Amino acid sequence: MSRMGMSSNDHQPKQQKPSLSRERVVAAAIAILDGEGENALTFRALAKSLSTGSGAIYWHVADKRTLLAAATEHVLSEAIAQSGRGTHPADAVRDVALGVFDVIEAHPWVGTELAREPWQPAMTTLFEKISAGFDAMGVPRSALFYCGSALVQYLLGFAAQAAAAARHDFQSQDRTEVLTTLVARWTQGEPADYPYVHLLADELRSHDEREAFLAGLDLILAGARNLQG
Amino acid sequence: MSRMGMSSNDHQPKQQKPSLSRERVVAAAIAILDGEGENALTFRALAKSLSTGSGAIYWHVADKRTLLAAATEHVLSEAIAQSGRGTHPADAVRDVALGVFDVIEAHPWVGTELAREPWQPAMTTLFEKISAGFDAMGVPRSALFYCGSALVQYLLGFAAQAAAAARHDFQSQDRTEVLTTLVARWTQGEPADYPYVHLLADELRSHDEREAFLAGLDLILAGARNLQG
DNA sequence: ACCTGAACACCGTTCAAGT
DNA sequence: ACCTGAACACCGTTCAAGT
User: pLDDT, tens digit, for every residue of B32-52?
Assistant: 999 999 999 999 999 999 999
Q: In angstroms, rounded to a whole number, what is the distance separating the alpha carbons of residues A126 and A76?
A: 10
* Under 8 Å between Cβ of B159 and B115: yes
Strand D and chain A: which residues 50-89 have CB closer than 7 Å? 54-55, 58, 63-65
* Under 8 Å between Cβ of B139 and B147: yes
Report pLDDT for B13.
42
**Amino acid B96 CA to nucleotide C15 C1' distance, rounded Å:** 45
Q: What is the mean pLDDT of chain A?
A: 89
- Find, in chain B, the residue whose alpha carbon is nearest to that of A185: B121
Q: Please compute the mean of the pLDDT values over residues B5-27 and round it to a whole number.
A: 65
Using alpha carbons, select from A169, A197, A167 the residue that is nearest to residue A185: A197
Q: B165 vs A203, which has greater pLDDT?
A: B165
Q: In angstroms, rounded to a whole number, what is the distance separating the alpha carbons of residues B13 and B9?
A: 9
Query: Where residue B135 falls among pLDDT bands split at 50, 70, 90?
Result: very high
Q: In angstroms, rounded to a whole number, what is the distance separating the alpha carbons of residues A43 and A23?
A: 15
Residue numbers in A near B66 (CB within 8 A): none
A-B C-beta contacts closer than 8 Å: 183
10 Å CB burial of residue A24 (0-12, 13-18, 19+) is middle
**Alpha-carbon torsion (B88, B90, B96, B99), positive or negative:** negative
3-state secondary structure of B18: coil
Report pLDDT for A7.
37
pLDDT tens-place string over residues B156-185: 999 999 999 999 887 766 777 777 777 777
| Whether A160 and B116 lie within 8 Å, measured CB to CB | yes
Find the radius of gyration of the CA atoms of chain B.
23
**Amino acid A65 CA to nucleotide D3 C1' distance, rounded Å:** 38
Report which listed range, A2-11, A109-118, A188-197, is most confident: A109-118
Q: Please compute the mean of the pLDDT values over residues B105-114 and round it to a whole number.
A: 98
Query: Where residue A16 falls among pLDDT bands split at 50, 70, 90?
Result: low
DSSP string, chain A: ----S-GGGSSPPP-PPPPP-HHHHHHHHHHHHHHH-GGG--HHHHHHHTTS-HHHHTTT-S-HHHHHHHHHHHHHHHHHHH----SSHHHHHHHHHHHHHHHHHH-HHHHHHHHH----HHHHHHHHHHHHHHHHHT--HHHHHHHHHHHHHHHHHHHHHHHHHHHHHHHH--HHHHHHHHHHHHHTT-GGG-HHHHHHHHHHHH--HHHHHHHHHHHHHHHHHTT--
pLDDT beyond 50 at A158: yes
| Whether B196 and A132 lie within 8 Å, measured CB to CB | yes
**Amino acid B66 CA to nucleotide C13 C1' distance, rounded Å:** 14
Report pLDDT for A192.
81
Does A215 contact B at CB distance below 8 Å? yes
Q: Please check whether strand C approaches the CB of B58 to within 7 Å.
A: yes
Report pLDDT for A201.
81
* A207 contact partners, CB below 8 Å, separation of at least 6: B145
Query: Where residue B16 falls among pLDDT bands split at 50, 70, 90?
Result: low
pLDDT tens-place string over residues A81-105: 999 999 999 999 999 999 999 999 9
All domains of chain B in start order, with CATH: 22-61 (1.10.10.60), 84-225 (1.10.357.10)
B10 dihedral zone (left: phi>0; alpha: psi -120 to 50; beta): beta
Note if the pTM is more than 0.75.
yes
- Find, in chain B, the residue whose alpha carbon is nearest to that of A149: B216
Q: B228 vs B47, which has greater pLDDT?
A: B47
Residue numbers in A near B181 (CB within 8 A): none
pLDDT beyond 90 at B205: no
pLDDT tens-place string over residues A166-177: 998 877 767 777
The 8 Å CB, 24+ separation contacts for B211-215 are B212/A145, B212/A146, B212/A149, B213/B97, B213/B98, B213/B101, B213/B158, B214/B94, B214/B98, B215/A143, B215/A146, B215/A150
pLDDT beyond 80 at A225: yes
pLDDT beyond 70 at B2: no
**Amino acid A59 CA to nucleotide C6 C1' distance, rounded Å:** 18
* Under 8 Å between Cβ of A34 and A107: yes
Please identify among residues 161-180 of chain A the ones whose CB lies closer than 8 Å to any CB of chain B: 161, 164
- Find, in chain A, the residue whose alpha carbon is nearest to that of B163: A116
Report pLDDT for A183.
75
Report pLDDT for B139.
97
Question: Among B28-37, B95-104, B191-200, which stretch is predicted with the lowest mean pLDDT?
Answer: B191-200
Report pLDDT for A198.
86
Question: How far is CA A150 from its chain centroid?
Answer: 18
Report pLDDT for B166.
93
pLDDT tens-place string over residues A208-218: 999 999 999 99
Does A66 contact B at CB distance below 8 Å? no
**Amino acid B40 CA to nucleotide C12 C1' distance, rounded Å:** 14
Q: Please check whether strand C approaches the CB of B42 to within 7 Å.
A: yes
10 Å CB burial of residue A10 (0-12, 13-18, 19+) is exposed
Mutate which: A145, A151, A152, A187, vs B, most B CBs within 10 A:
A145
**Amino acid B176 CA to nucleotide C5 C1' distance, rounded Å:** 43
pLDDT beyond 60 at A52: yes
Please identify among residues 113-152 of chain B the ones whose CB lies closer than 8 Å to any CB of chain A: 114-119, 121, 124, 127-128, 131-132, 135, 143-150, 152
Q: Please check whether strand C approaches the CB of A60 to within 7 Å.
A: yes
Report pLDDT for A1.
40
Q: B2 vs A195, which has greater pLDDT?
A: A195
Q: What is the mean pLDDT of chain B?
A: 89
Question: How far is CA B177 from its chain centroid?
Answer: 25
Considering only the C-alpha atoms of chain B, give the largest distance between any 2 of them, rounded to a whole number of Å: 81
- CA B54 to chain A, closest CA, distance in angstroms equals 24
Between the CA atoms of B86, B89, B94 and B99, what dihedral angle is there, to the nearest 10 degrees?
A: 60
Report pLDDT for B62.
98
Report pLDDT for B229.
65
Q: In angstroms, rounded to a whole number, what is the distance separating the alpha carbons of residues B89 and A229?
A: 27
Nucleotide closest to B39 measured between CA and C1': C11
